[in-house]
Amino acid sequence: METNETMSLLLVGAFCAVQIAYALSQSLDLYFFTRPVNWVDPNTARDKPADEYPYIVLFYPVLRELESTMRTTFLSLAQLEYPKDKFSVVAIPNADDAFTVRSLRRLQKEFPFLQIIEVPATSHKSWLVVWKAWDRCKKAYWWHEGKFAQNRNLPPKKTRQLIYAFYQIAERVMDTQDFLVNYIDADSCPPSDHFLAAAAGMGQYDVLQAQNIAGNLNASWAASWHAFDHMAWDGSKYPHLSANGKHPYWVLGKGLFFRASDLIALGGFHPWLTIEDPEVGMRFWTNGKRLGVIENPLIEEVPLTFAHGITQRKRWVAGFFQSLTHPLKAMGMPWPARFKAWLNFLPCLSLSLNSIGLPLGIWATWSAWTGQNILPDWAIVLSLANLVVFTLSMSALYVRTWRRAALVLPARKDRIRYLLRVNPVFILAWWLVWLIPLWIGFRMFLRNEGLVWERTEKTDANHDLVRVARTKKSSATARSTAQSKLPTAIRAGAEKTS
C-alpha cells in the first residue's frame, strides 16, 4: 500500500514538474512575441538617387558544390535590381578544392559578374594581412587570449574562407571607400530586391538580416519537417530579436549585411567556433550595433533525409553552446545581457517539452473531466492553460506558415499538402527527434569538435523556382549610376589572389 502511494506521489510530482517547465517554456515564447520588430522596407531605396547606394560585396563560400546548384544561385543573382557597378559577387573556394574551382571557372563565362578568390593554406604569405589586422584589434579576443591565441592554423571551414577574402578585399579598397559585406550559402537564392533592402536599411540600422525559407518544402517528409524549423524560427520568432536594440541577437549565417569598417573594428569572424553566426551577431550587439530585419526571404534548400538534417542541426547546437559560454564574457557582455542571450537558445533546448507536456496535459484534462483525477486542482488549471496557449500559438504559426509557403508553393493544393505533412501530431514527433542533434551537439561542444567544415548536401532543388522567376518580366528597369572605383579594385585583387 505504501509503495503504491509512493509511486502515485512520484507520478504526481513528475507531472507537476513537467507542466511547470512547459509553462515556463510557453512564457518564454510569449516574451519573444512581445518584443517589437524593426522591419526594413526596401521600397524606400527606390526613391534614392542610385549614386547614393552603398557598394556591396557579396561573398560566396563554397566547398565541393554541384555546378548546377551554383548556377541556380547565380541565376538568382543575375536578377538583382541594383546598379551593376555597385556590387561584386566573389566566390571563395579553397585553393585545393579543384573540383569547385573548375566549376566556377566555367560559370564565370556564363556570369561575367562572378569573381573568384581562391583561399590558400594559412601558411601562405597572403594571410599576413589577417594577422596584422588582428594584432591591431583587441576585439579579436581569440587572437589575444585563451588556448587559441596567436594560432594561425585556422580550421578549414566556411569561416576561414570568409576571413581571408574579407581582409584581402578590405586591404585593397578601404582607403577608397567603405562597403557593405553580404554573404550567402551555396544554395541561397536572394530575392531581386535583396540589395535594395540593404540600401534602404543601412541608413537606420548597423546590421541587416534577411529571413530564409526553404524552396523544397514537399521534396520529402524529412524536407517538410526540416523546413518547418525555419517557419517557426526564421519566419516567426527571430525577427523579434531586433527589439529596438534591447535584446542580444545573432545572425542567421546568410543574407545579412554590415559595414566593412564595423567588421574590421570588431575583429572580423571568430574562426574557432563550429558556426560563426551567433557569436558575431552578439558581438555586434554588445558594441551597440542595432539589427534591422528584411522580410523578403532568401530561398534555400533543406536536407532531404533525416540523417543529413541531424548532421546540420548537431553543428548548430554545438555552435550555440560554444558561443554562449566563454565568448560572452570575452566580448564584454554584462551578465544580465548574457542571461538574455541564453534565452535565444532555450526555445531550441525545450522543443521536446511540447511533445511531453502536451499529451500529459490532455490526459490530465480528460481525467478531471471524467472524475478520475488524482492531481491537485492547480496542476489541472496549469495543464489547461498550457493547452490553450499551445493551441493559440500553433494556430498563429500555421497561419504564418500558410502565408509564407505561398512564396514557394503558389498552388493552393501544394500548400495544403505541406500543412498536412507538418500537422501537430507529426511535428510533436519531430520535436522529439530533435533530442538526437541536441545530445550530439552538446557532446561536440564538450569535446571541442566540429571545427572542420562538414557540408550539408545540396541537390539544386530550387532550380525550377528560379527559372520561373527569371522568365517573368521584371517590374523594375536598370538604373544608371556614377562610376565607382571599387569593382576594378576588387576584380584586380581577386585575379591577383587567384
**pLDDT given for residue 479 in this prediction:** 39
- Over the chain (498 residues), the average pLDDT of each successive run of 10 is 57 73 86 96 89 95 93 95 95 95 96 96 97 97 95 94 97 88 95 96 96 94 96 93 96 95 97 95 98 96 94 95 96 96 91 75 70 71 83 93 94 96 93 94 93 77 68 41 54 59
87: which 3 cell numbers? 556590387
Enter the pTM of the model. Answer: 0.90
First to last CA, the chain: 80
For residue 23, give the nearest of 357, 340, 345 by alpha carbon: 357
For residue 330, give the nearest of 146, 158, 134, 489 by alpha carbon: 146
Residues 316-341, buried b or exposed e (16+ Cβ, 10 A)?
Answer: bbbbbbbbbeebbebbebeeebbebb
Residue-wise DSSP of 410-442: -SHHHHHHHHHHT-HHHHHHHHHHTHHHHHHHH
Query: Residues 6 or more apart from 457 whose CB is under 8 A from it?
Result: 303, 304, 308
Cβ–Cβ under 8 Å, residues 255 and 210: yes
Residue-wise DSSP of 57-102: EEEEE-SS--HHHHHHHHHHHTT--S-GGGEEEEEE-BTT-HHHHH
442: which 3 cell numbers? 552538446
**pLDDT given for residue 254 in this prediction:** 94
**58-80 per-position pLDDT tens digit:** 999 999 999 999 999 999 999 99
Query: Residues 6 or more apart from 222 whose CB is under 8 A from it?
Result: 303, 304, 305, 306, 308, 309
For residue 117, give the nearest of 68, 170, 168 by alpha carbon: 168
DSSP assignment, residue 237?
I
Share of the chain above pLDDT 70, in %: 88
**pLDDT given for residue 487 in this prediction:** 64
**109-126 per-position pLDDT tens digit:** 999 999 999 999 999 999
Q: Please tell me the distance from the alpha carbon of residue 49 to that of residue 68, in angstroms, as a whole number.
A: 36
**156-181 per-position pLDDT tens digit:** 899 999 999 999 999 998 878 899 99
Residue type for position 348: C
CA angle 51, 90, 479 (to 5 degrees): 25
Q: Return the CATH number of 39-347+452-497, one of 1.10.20.10, 3.40.50.720, 1.10.150.120, 3.90.550.10.
A: 3.90.550.10
Q: Please tell me the distance from the alpha carbon of residue 66 to that of residue 116, in angstroms, as a whole number.
A: 16
**pLDDT given for residue 473 in this prediction:** 39
Domain boundaries, the chain: 39-347+452-497
In this structure, the dihedral spanned by the alpha carbons of residues 367, 369, 374 and 377, taken in order and rounded to 10 degrees, is: 130
